[in-house]
Amino acid sequence: MLSGVLSTSNTLPILDHFLFDLAPGEAVISASDLETTMTVKLEVRTEDTGMIAIPAKMLLDILKAFPDIPLTFKIDTDTYAIELVSDAGKYKLTGANGDEFPRTPELEGGSKVEIAADTLVTAINRTLFAAGSDDLRPVMSGIFFEMYEDSIRFVATDAHRLVRYARTDAKAGESSQFIVPKKPLNLLKGAATAAEKVVMSFNESNAQFTFDEVSISCRLIEGKYPNYDAVIPKNNPNRMTINRMDFLQAIRRVAIFANKTTHQVRLRIAGSELTVNAEDLDFANEATERLTCSYQGEDIEIGFNSRFLADMLNNLGAPEVTLELSAPNRAGIIRPSEPEEPGEDLLMLVMPVMLNA
């Protein structure tokens, strides 16, 4: 669980280690890359107190090679020599001084919000894929958490697509907003799947997520999140409802024939028929599929990046989705036809690609 924190380009050699902090009956194990720190508390058999840093890669490699058997760690506090003892043999490696390991900053003057773990994991799964990875716009490279007294919202965008996931069954004591980077969120969604509750603590610069015996601390992304509400078109008279998997599979098949630079697919909706078309004129490749749908509105033709459409449909769980459109040059909005869970409001927005005549 902790290995996801490890970075391949650490500036400090100590960060290539796990920190073991022992107290009678328990060990707190930590990993850090300075930006993100994760700790897990384990029950162990010991009467000792002390700290040792153990090389992470070597420890992981040897642990993977063992079956599920008891292991004894013998540590020389003067030389940081570590001896691993199993039924089969002995293994020696050298650790480092645990005092050199960076301390997790204590959250001072922060706020706390408790949220159901499955709600938080779903929110991350529904939004994280749409976050950007442009170093020049760091505010877009995480998820924007918006806490309100009647709801909590999670927003991710990379300027081409946007996802807003809101829960009215999750609330905060006071309004607050912050941007959490991708890495701690990826760790969180992997580690919190079996938890019941997650306590989020945060102040101006740091956030901490605590559940069961696990804690993930991270530095927040500084800066002002773009006014995403302004780009969501409010009036969309054209509405198509369609089976999500049929739509997704048609896009995946047709997209194979699309231009490799633009990945453009053309959607033509007329009556109760949707035509999905893609072509690559340079190689004379073309594909067209027809699907039945339920549609209210005027006939429309609009182009989208097939990768973005497929990503969005893939990150939904609803059997049917609604695509709302206003004009070929305005963003399209995808929503589940019915909320997958009570109290959930999910909106996905995708910018169109200009169609070549």
Domains of the chain, with CATH numbers?
2-100 (3.10.150.10), 111-229 (3.10.150.10), 232-350 (3.10.150.10)
Which of these, 182, 201, 17, 31, lies nearest to 106 by C-alpha position? 201
Q: How far apart (Å, rounded) are the C-alpha atoms in residues 356 and 169?
A: 45
How deeply is 32 buried, as exposed, middle or buried, from its count of CB atoms within 10 A (0-12, 13-18, 19+)?
buried
Q: Dump the DSSP string for 66-135.
A: S-S---EEEEETTTTEEEEE-SS-EEEEE-EEGGGSPPPPPP-S-EEEEEEHHHHHHHHHHHGGGS---T
Backbone angles phi, psi at 47, to 5 degrees: -110, 0
Distance of CA 331 to the CA centre of its chain: 24
Q: How far apart (Å, rounded) are the C-alpha atoms in residues 322 and 284?
A: 32
In tens digits, the chain (357 residues) has pLDDT values of: 999 999 998 889 999 999 999 999 999 999 999 999 999 999 999 999 999 999 999 999 999 999 999 999 999 999 999 999 999 899 999 999 999 999 887 888 889 999 999 999 999 999 999 999 988 899 999 999 999 999 999 999 999 999 999 999 999 989 999 999 999 999 999 999 999 999 999 999 999 999 999 999 999 999 999 999 999 999 999 999 999 999 999 999 999 999 999 999 999 999 999 999 999 999 999 999 999 999 999 999 999 999 999 999 999 999 999 999 999 999 999 999 999 889 999 999 999 998 765
Bridge-partner residues for 152, per DSSP?
A: 147, 167
**End-to-end Cα distance, the chain:** 51
Which of these, 136, 135, 154, 134, lies nearest to 144 by C-alpha position? 154
Helix, strand, or coil here: 316?
coil
Collect all residues with Cβ–Cβ distance below 8 Å to 229 and sequence separation of at least 6: none
Q: How far apart (Å, rounded) are the C-alpha atoms in residues 268 and 251?
A: 13
Write down the pLDDT at residue 303.
97
Structure-token match 């999670």, residue found? 154
pTM for the model: 0.93
Which of these, 256, 210, 242, 257, lies nearest to 322 by C-alpha position? 242
Write down the pLDDT at residue 225.
96
Which of these, 37, 34, 40, 45, lies nearest to 20 by C-alpha position? 40
Q: In the numeric block, which tokens belong to residue 107?
A: 């959250």
Q: How far apart (Å, rounded) are the C-alpha atoms in residues 62 and 60?
A: 6
Write down the pLDDT at residue 356.
66
Q: How far apart (Å, rounded) are the C-alpha atoms in residues 174 and 134?
A: 31
Structure-token match 């559940």, residue found? 211
Task: Check residue 261 and report its DSSP letter.
Answer: T
Write down the pLDDT at residue 135.
85
Write down the pLDDT at residue 109.
81
For 62, other C-beta atoms within 10 Å of its C-beta total 14
